[in-house]
Structure 1
Amino acid sequence: MTNPFPNAEVVGQAILSIVGGMEVVQSRALRILAENGITPLKADSWYPLTNLLNAFRLIFEKIGPSTVRAIGRKIPENAHFPPDVDNLEKGLRSIDVAYHMNHRGTDPIGGYHYEQSDRRSAKMVCDNPYPCDLDLGLVEAICDRYRPKDSLWVRIEHDPRSCRRRGDASCTYLITW
């Protein structure tokens, strides 16, 4: 995984999502992080984004995309997020704010761009350097947490027309509820 933001750093608090997402194999998570220079892992320390992206590459290759997705689902539990989020739109918009709260050193650094499509649908364009499986898990977690009371479900689909895994600049997720 290439890092278009070589001077960027990520706060340890956000990296704790890896350990949380790999609950069953936390020692393996810590070992992969250590192999990539993220040791000791401290919540208030900053680490090179390149090292974290290398750790994600190893997790994807050695353990699989479902683990990367599970890590994404843990991000809202671990990373710094803005307060006063109380509905789905605010929740999805907060992802970009949280992303910038947990990264420093390069601006712009990509992000999570929410666009309302109509009353019950939206899209999220992710042009950050993280794997798309991580973004999918993160968007799923926010949608689960803030699903509107009048919706039985929130559906998230990866738009096949844009995917970073195949070299595109962004991934787009179509969200309906």
Structure 2
Amino acid sequence: MATEANQYAGPTVDGRIVKAFVDGVAETCGYFEERARRILARHGIEELQPGESYPLGAYIDAIHEVQRTTGPNTLNRIGRATPAALPWSHRVQTIEDAFVDLGRVFDRAHDGADVGSFEFQPDDHGGTLVADTPYPDAFEQGLIKGIGKHFGTNTGFIAIHESGRYRADGGDVREFDLTWWETRDDVKKISPPQEHARTGSPQSARAD
């Protein structure tokens, strides 16, 4: 159940997503699982149940506390753990399917107004993901990499080229130009869009 719910009236988030918070923090160190639960409890989320919904504001506050106290790497791991908890359609079988469907799945995992959105536009290289959500940048980066892990192969890679101001610097909407491939041989065949390679902040991540 969620306590102090009146403090966080408004949108809610599926309990399975909140459970991914615990899993992502625990991935850093087993000891951190209890710490993650204490952080959630401080923001009114206790007795975590996957079938319940919890105030989105409380969950976002807990995520920001992790960002302040442990840094972006832990937040990235929380994002990586999240795709396994999202309510994907059985029709989603590939990485591209997942990015195309991400906006709908994000809506299903949240309830209420002002929960944000994801929009994906495929292109010859992969596609552009536009993120307008209340979640921090490091979480979204981890979410993208987690989708590669969840729907890709053990040898799959996703390259992320970002544009737009970071939210910590007052930014709002973030754009991620994405390229993915299944094997190392494909890396030689696919190059990221040059305009974003010059202006964005490139990151390459193995999806494992």
Q: Larger RCO: Structure 1 or Structure 2 (Cα < 8 Å, ≥ 6 residues apart)?
A: 1
Shorter-chain TM-score above 0.5: yes
Q: Deviations over 1:77-136 (max 9, x none)?
A: 223222221122211122212211111021x532111012x3223111100101111111
State the TM-score, normalized to the length of structure 1.
0.87
Q: Which residue of the partner structure matches residue 23 of structure 2?
A: 20
Aligned residue among 128, 134, 137 for 1:132? 137
The CA RMSD measured in Å over matched residues stands at 2.1
Aligned residue among 109, 119, 124 for 2:124? 119
State the TM-score, normalized to the length of structure 2.
0.74
> Gaps spanning 5+ residues in structure 1: where?
none
Change (3 A) 1:121 1:77: closer
Q: CA deviation at 1:168?
A: 2.0
Specify the SS of the correspondent of 2:89: coil
Cα distance in 1 for residues equivalent to 2:34 and 2:9: 27
- Aligned counterparts, 1:159-174, within 5 A: 159=163, 161-174=164-177
Q: What is the identity, as a one-letter code, of the residue corresponding to 1:158?
A: E
Q: Which has the larger radius of gyration?
A: 2
Give aligned pairs, total.
Answer: 169
Cα distance in 1 for residues equivalent to 2:37 and 2:132: 27
Determine what percentage of the aligned residue pairs are the same residue.
Answer: 25
Aligned residue among 98, 115, 122 for 1:109? 115
Are the counterparts in 2 of residues 81 and 101 from structure 1 also a CA contact under 8 Å? no
Q: What is the identity, as a one-letter code, of the residue corresponding to 1:17?
A: A
Specify the SS of the correspondent of 2:47: coil
